[in-house]
Amino acid sequence: MVHKPKRTKSGRAWMHEHVTDPYVKRAQQDGYRSRAAYKLLEIDARDPLLRPGMTVVDLGAAPGSWCQVAVEKLKGRGRVLAIDLLPVAPLAGVESLAGDFTDPAALAWLEEKLGTQRVDLVLSDMAPNMSGVALRDQARHYELCELALDFAVQWLKPDGTFLVKVFQGVGFEDFRARMRQAFARVAIRKPDASRDRSTEVYLLGRDPVAERHAA
């Protein structure tokens, strides 16, 4: 006889929230791979990010809903390069790598794909595998954010844009200060599709300012 693991109270609550979530239902109806698509769609509606002809890099892309949005907005003109630890199922118009962005090999893959081409938009929805130790997880998350910011500063066009998921708390103000050094304009966005109880917000940086970052 096989004993099924008991569901915890928190696990049952999460499942209930998931199956009753209106954005989960919309994603299923609209054909998006996750509810996260609506976060990007909402931000793009407020702060136009995506247009045909762009080169877009999506960090932390799995399962690929942001890639889907990007492909739709590019309308067959442009490029989307995506990286995640988990594989992104094939999607027309997207070149993806199942790899660790902290591994130099992943960065080398991106650089090889880009060649001398600069990037219009860097998206980062990366988050570490959670250990359950809040301070450790927060620190690891901001390490990923720093790496994404370094990549964006190096590869964005002069009028490029960087959108990165962050969590409010320890490290937030320091990272926002660094964003302000790197970009002429920095804004905080909290899309409706982000759950109210989550400390998740998005920092939007526009127009890289190389001399500020170097300073």
| Residue 13 predicted with pLDDT over 60 | no
Residue 1 has pLDDT above 60, yes or no: no
Cβ proximity of 158 and 119 under 8 Å: no
Percent of the chain with pLDDT over 70: 88
Instruction: Please name which of 32, 38, 1, 28 lies closest in space to residue 195, comparing C-alpha atoms.
Output: 38
Cα–Cα distance, 5 to 3 (Å, whole number):
6
Model confidence at 52: pLDDT above 90: yes
User: In whole angstroms, how far apart are CA 176 and each of 50, 102, 124?
Assistant: 23, 21, 15
Extract long-range pairs of 9-17: CB within 8 Å, 24+ residues apart.
none
Q: Classify the C-alpha dihedral 205-207-210-211 as positive or negative.
A: negative
Question: Per the structure block, which two tokens stand in for 3?
Answer: 């004993």
Can you tell me the mean pLDDT for 140-160? 97
Identify whether the C-beta of residue 80 lies closer than 8 Å to the C-beta of residue 105.
Answer: no
Question: Which pLDDT does position 196 carry in this prediction?
Answer: 76
Average pLDDT, the chain: 89
Give tens-digit pLDDT for 72-112. Answer: 999 999 999 999 999 999 999 999 999 999 999 999 999 99
Query: Cβ neighbours of residue 105 under 8 Å, at least 6 residues apart?
Result: 99
The one-letter code for the residue type at 192 is D
Q: What is the pLDDT of residue 163?
A: 98
**Burial call 4-29: b when 16+ CB within 10 Å, e when fewer:** eeeeeeeeeeeeeeeeeeebbeebee
Residues annotated as part of the active site: 165
Task: Say if domain 32-214 classifies as CATH 3.40.50.150.
Answer: yes
Give the whole-number percent of the chain exceeding pLDDT 90. Answer: 79
Q: Are 148 and 169 in contact (CB under 8 A)?
A: no
Cα(116)–Cα(205) distance, integer angstroms: 22
Whole-angstrom Cα distance, residue 215 to residue 213? 5
